[in-house]
Amino acid sequence: MSHRSFSILKRVITHHPNSSHLLSSQRSVTYMPRPGDGAPRPVTLIPGDGIGPLVTGAVEQVMEAMHAPVHFEKYEVHGDMKQVPQEVLDSIRKNKVCLKGGLMTPVGGGVNSLNMQLRKELDLYASLVNCFNLPGLPTRHENVDIAVVRENTEGEYSGLEHEVVPGVVESLKVITKFCSERIAKYAFEYAYLNGRKKVTAVHKANIMKLADGLFLESCREVATKYPGIKYNEIIVDNCCMQLVSRPEQFDVMVTPNLYGNLVANTAAGIAGGTGVMPGGNAGADYAVFEQGASAGNVGNTNLVEQRRANPIALLLSSAMMLRHLQFPSFADRLETAVKHVISEGKYRTKDLGGDSTTQQVVDAVVAALD
Amino acid sequence: MASQLVRRLARSRLDGILSSSSPNPSFFNRSFSSESNLIRATLFPGDGIGPEIAESVKQVFRTADVPIEWEEHYVGTEIDPRTQSFLTWESLESVRRNKVGLKGPMATPIGKGHRSLNLTLRKELNLYANVRPCYSLPGYKTKYDDVNLVTIRENTEGEYSGLEHQVVRGVVESLKIITRQASLRVAEYAFFYAKAHGRERVSAIHKANIMQKTDGLFLKCCREVAEKYPEIVYEEVVIDNCCMMLVKNPALFDVLVMPNLYGDIISDLCAGLIGGLGLTPSCNIGEGGVALAEAVHGSAPDIAGKVCIKETLILYS
């Protein structure tokens, strides 16, 4: 229990982008390990589909260059499989941490999304996407620093659909107090541990009174337990409008499943694109790290052929993973190197306005590691 | 200054419309032929700043010499038993007869035993599509300058069916309904609109990789209609991709057609791109060719006459 809180404390000190910059110049001894903490930790690695293998390959290269104490257990999973192979699930249960590229979900055809399956099996109920402006990357909006906490298991993505009569289809959106409460708790805990000042709940309770009303009730209850953190609520369409006009008003956002998807992708888009935003899925026992926002995490065939996928998102997610594993200085080094490469601007992939290949970006990051 | 700009815009749009050859489609059951034809339209000034805006609309139209005659209807102060709401039967009949209407912001009075006014209008007039053109206004600088798209949103079903219930304590279910009929209707309108306005692309926004049957049905209907319009490029975009692309590069989109919930969110997002709800026109299309343009904002006291001008432009488009 204290072991875990120690790591969380480390995450507090080292997570905020500003503070990591500070630490690298101070170089004081902040992390006292227990003997044996430096032993290589096994981490499950799922390359996935599309650009997945490309970007996970990038992560592997950088990890090796840093001599990070992780070794990857690679498993092949593809989006058109019926379900996630049992050995992969066992491996994740053993290692507790996984790094994953994108898994493609075929549109409209009877295969259940493997991403959803993974989340349900491992009960990864919180999805976090951290959207922030990277120094040196020009975007239309400044001062963006939003963390979107999205409920990951129920809501509109329950997958419960049926055809009532030919031509009429129903889909169930399920909201439970249990899930709403735990996601609200996660959001407030995250805000508390990372020094965030405000949590905003995103909903559409004026129309879906019972469902989103239940979600809001749970959020309000949890908010009373954290009097130091401001809490407010915003309707989802107004939220999207505010995101594109004044995103600096948002800090941490907690949302049900569908709205979270949209809000996370919008926030990622305004802060620089989904190619650079890190994120992860966390549950009570396991954590799976992947590219933050889900749009484009499989990429298209062009990107794969030309090997021009953007590895930044997965690199930053793997930095989050390193911190989660309690290797904060490796995480810092990786993040500093990535930010240096971005701010320099010489090696950027197409979605950031440059035309480098994945490999060139990786080499630049490796070179920037100190 | 705003009224000058608006007058200029109104005149230029009017010239554009009256000079170009206008189709006589079944959706719009009125003739567009000569200037001497007087068009009758129903006007609901609404509440709050509504009457003020309505006045400025009438003024602009008078100055621009638009051949339109307004029939004003006010929201009553007591419930009309025939419509079960504050809107009188006469108002609804007037809209049905004229086929064209303009609605100001209506504040639903808080009380019991009546439906919201907007809901009444929507149900009684069977307004199934909500059209919102979003284009960057010249002279109003936002962070996005090249927005020129139209969002068409299905207005009757989807996630907003209002069918919710509590299964057991702490578990709530909400039904999302998609029917073939409604999806076909809105897809037909979207393609018709695209063709009538010379738009080149229609994008259907969905999440069919997760909600396979519901959004799958919506997509199927869109595909069927797309086959009838081979000259219009049709594409399907997953909604999270769409959101991201909209904030990065809104010029990628032309006409967007979507089910109810996504439509709500995306149309407000697009409104945010061009400067807010105060500048966005909106029009609800109903069966039988009824078109009701409306103000999307509330009865806020701090918005000038910009809104209604844009709506009246859409009334003519």
Ordered DSSP codes for A215-229:
HHHHHHHHHHT-TTS
If you measure CA to CA, which chain A residue comes closest to B141?
A245
What's the distance, Cα to Cα, between the start and end of chain B in Å? 24
CA gap B95, A163 in Å, rounded: 36
Ordered DSSP codes for B99-129:
-EEEE---PPPP-SS---HHHHHHHHTTEEE
More confident residue, B236 or B278: B236
Can you read off the two tokens belonging to residue B261?
């919930």
pLDDT digits (tens, 9 = 90+) for A280-289: 999 999 999 9
Angstrom CA distances, B195 to B22, B153, B191, stand at 12, 17, 6
Checking if the pLDDT of B312 tops 50, the result is yes
pLDDT at residue B266, as a whole number: 92
Span B284-294, average pLDDT: 80
Question: Is the ipTM, as predicted for this complex, more than 0.90?
Answer: no
Can you read off the two tokens belonging to residue A274?
């989904």
Q: Count Cβ neighbours within 10 Å for each residue of A299-312 and write b for 16 or more, e otherwise.
A: beeebbeeebbbbb
Angstrom CA distances, A328 to A325, A332, B118, B235, stand at 8, 6, 55, 45
Checking if the pLDDT of B155 tops 50, the result is yes
B-chain residues within 8 Å CB-CB of A159? 210
Least confident of A128-137, A308-317, B97-106, B176-185: B97-106
CA gap B32, A339 in Å, rounded: 60
Residue A24 pLDDT grade (very low, low, confident, very high; cuts 50, 70, 90): very low
- The alpha carbon of residue A241 is apart from the nearest alpha carbon of chain B, in Å, by 4
Contact A68, A337 (CB under 8 A): no
pLDDT at residue B4, as a whole number: 46
Are the beta carbons of A241 and B276 separated by less than 8 Å?
Answer: yes
Strand, coil or helix: B311: helix
CA gap A285, A124 in Å, rounded: 8
Comparing C-alpha atoms, which of A245, A304, A258 is closest to residue A55?
Answer: A304
Task: Calculate what percentage of chain A has a pLDDT beyond 90.
Answer: 45
- For residue B81, what are the β-bridge partners? none
Residue B115 pLDDT grade (very low, low, confident, very high; cuts 50, 70, 90): low
Angstrom CA distances, B278 to B12, B68, B263, B271, B294, stand at 21, 24, 18, 9, 12
Residue A227 pLDDT grade (very low, low, confident, very high; cuts 50, 70, 90): very high
Can you read off the two tokens belonging to residue B270?
């697009």
Comparing C-alpha atoms, which of A77, A72, A91 is closest to residue A49?
Answer: A77
If you measure CA to CA, which chain B residue comes closest to A269?
B244
pLDDT at residue B298, as a whole number: 56
Nearest beta carbon to residue A157 from set B142, B210, B241: B210
Strand, coil or helix: A9: helix
What mean pLDDT, rounded, does chain A reach?
85
Strand, coil or helix: A315: helix
Q: Is A313 exposed, middle or buried (0-12, 13-18, 19+ CB in 10 A)?
A: buried
- In this prediction the pTM is 0.83
CA gap A231, A221 in Å, rounded: 11
Amino acid at the residue A4? R
- The alpha carbon of residue B278 is apart from the nearest alpha carbon of chain A, in Å, by 12
Strand order in the sheet with B171-179: A161-165, A168-176, B171-179, B164-168
Are the beta carbons of A214 and B172 separated by less than 8 Å?
Answer: yes
What mean pLDDT, rounded, does chain B reach?
76
Span A81-100, average pLDDT: 91
Residue B83 pLDDT grade (very low, low, confident, very high; cuts 50, 70, 90): low
Angstrom CA distances, B140 to A87, A320, A361, B2, stand at 58, 41, 39, 11
CA gap A178, A185 in Å, rounded: 11
pLDDT digits (tens, 9 = 90+) for B34-82: 334 677 888 877 777 777 777 877 887 788 877 778 888 877 666 666 6
Are the beta carbons of B172 and A174 separated by less than 8 Å?
Answer: yes
CA gap B254, B236 in Å, rounded: 12
Angstrom CA distances, B244 to A148, A254, B237, B238, B316, stand at 15, 19, 11, 10, 32
Q: What are phi and psi of B175, to 5 degrees?
A: -95, 135
CA gap A91, A74 in Å, rounded: 10
Residue A14 pLDDT grade (very low, low, confident, very high; cuts 50, 70, 90): very low
Are the beta carbons of A269 and B272 separated by less than 8 Å?
Answer: no
If you measure CA to CA, which chain A residue comes closest to B221?
A167
A-chain residues within 8 Å CB-CB of B212? 108-110, 161
Span A48-58, average pLDDT: 87
Question: How many contacts (CB atoms, under 8 Å) link A and B?
Answer: 182
pLDDT at residue A237, as a whole number: 87
Sign of CA dihedral B83, B87, B89, B95: negative
Q: How many CB atoms lie within 10 A of CB B171?
A: 16
- The alpha carbon of residue A285 is apart from the nearest alpha carbon of chain B, in Å, by 24
Sign of CA dihedral B142, B146, B148, B149: negative
Strand-pair category, B164-168 with B148-154: unpaired
Are the beta carbons of B244 and A208 separated by less than 8 Å?
Answer: no
Are the beta carbons of A268 and B244 separated by less than 8 Å?
Answer: yes
More confident residue, A47 or B307: A47
Are the beta carbons of B265 and A237 separated by less than 8 Å?
Answer: yes
CA gap B36, B26 in Å, rounded: 22
pLDDT digits (tens, 9 = 90+) for A106-122: 765 555 678 888 888 89
Q: How many CB atoms lie within 10 A of CB B81?
A: 8
CA gap B38, B21 in Å, rounded: 19
Sign of CA dihedral B207, B211, B215, B217: positive
